[in-house]
Amino acid sequence: MAETVETPAIVLDRIPYGEADLILHLLTRDHGLVAALARSARGSRRRFAGGVDLFVVADVRFRPAGARSSLALLAGAEPVRSFPGLYDHLDRMEAGQAMLMLARDLLRDAPAGESTFLRVVEALARLETAPPDRAPLEILGLAIALLCELGHPPVDESCPACGEAVGASGVVAVAPDGAMLCGRCAPAGAVRFSSSLLGGTAREVEAGPVPARADVLSLVAALVSGVLGRRWRLRMGTDT
Ligand SMILES: [Zn+2]
C-alpha cells in the first residue's frame, strides 16, 4: 500500500460524489495537481475541519492514487491560512473563484511545482486587499504569472496574422472572435490594450485607468485559449 504523503495544498474545485463524499482537485506545493476523494467531507464538518473549503491553504495528508484507484484518498486536512478579505466583496469572491478555475484548467495537464503553488497563494493574498473594481486585473495578473510558469510569456506569443510578437507594437488586441493579435493587425471592433499589461503582473497598470471588466476577461480568455489550443472562457457570477 502506498505511503501517505503530506503537503500544503489549496482546493481548486469540489465535486459532490455519492452521498456525502467530495472529489477535490488540489493544487499541492510538493505533488502538483492531485485529484483526491474526501470521504464524508459533506457529511460532517468536523471530518476535515474546514481544510477542504475554498480559499484555504491546508496541510493535507493523502494516499496517492495507485493501481486500485485513480483518485488519491484524502486522510486529513488542517487549515493553515485563509483569505477572509475575499468574502468582503462579491467582486473579490467571484474573481477568487475565477482564479481557481483558471489554475485548474491551465495546470490540468502541466507540471506544477512549488513556485506555481506560491503564485496562486500570492494571487489570492493580493486579491484580498484589491479594490473591488480592480479584481479582474488580479485574475489577469495570475493568468500572466501562470503562463510564464508554463513557459509561455504572453507578450512573446506570435500574432497569427503577421507572426511578430503580439506585444511588439506596444498594443495587444483581442479580436471579436477571441483571437489575440498585435495592434497593427487588429481588425475593427478589436479591444486594444497596452502591451505593458502583459509584461509582468497587474501591478503595472495600477496607476492607469481600470479597463472594463468584460475587456479584461476577454483578454484572459484569449491568453488561455491560445495556450490550451481550444476556445476557453471564464464563467463568472452573473455571466451565463
Ligand atoms: Zn500582427
pLDDT of residue 1: 58
Is residue 237 a part of any domain in this protein? no
One domain, residues 122 and 221:
yes
One domain, residues 30 and 138:
no
Domain boundary among 82, 102, 120: 82
Q: What is the pLDDT of residues 29-69, one digit of tens each?
A: 999 999 999 999 987 777 888 899 999 999 999 999 988 88
Q: What is the pLDDT of residues 151-203, one digit of tens each?
A: 988 888 899 999 999 988 888 999 998 899 999 999 999 999 888 888 754 45
Distance 160 CA to ligand 1 centre (A): 7
Distance 186 CA to ligand 1 centre (A): 7
The Cα 196–Cα 165 span in angstroms is 13
Query: Helix, strand, or coil here: 144?
Result: helix
Is residue 171 a part of any domain in this protein? yes
pLDDT(235) > 90 = no
pLDDT of residue 202: 47
Distance 45 CA to ligand 1 centre (A): 54
**For 134, how many CA atoms within 13 A lie in the half-sphere containing its CB?**
19
Distance 183 CA to ligand 1 centre (A): 7
We report the CATH number of the domain holding residue 203 as 1.20.1440.120
pLDDT(133) > 60 = yes
pLDDT of residue 224: 93
Distance 12 CA to ligand 1 centre (A): 35
Query: Helix, strand, or coil here: 62?
Result: strand
Q: What is the pLDDT of residues 198-233, one digit of tens each?
A: 875 445 555 567 788 899 999 999 999 988 989 998
Query: Helix, strand, or coil here: 83?
Result: coil
Side chain identity at residue 9, one-letter code: A
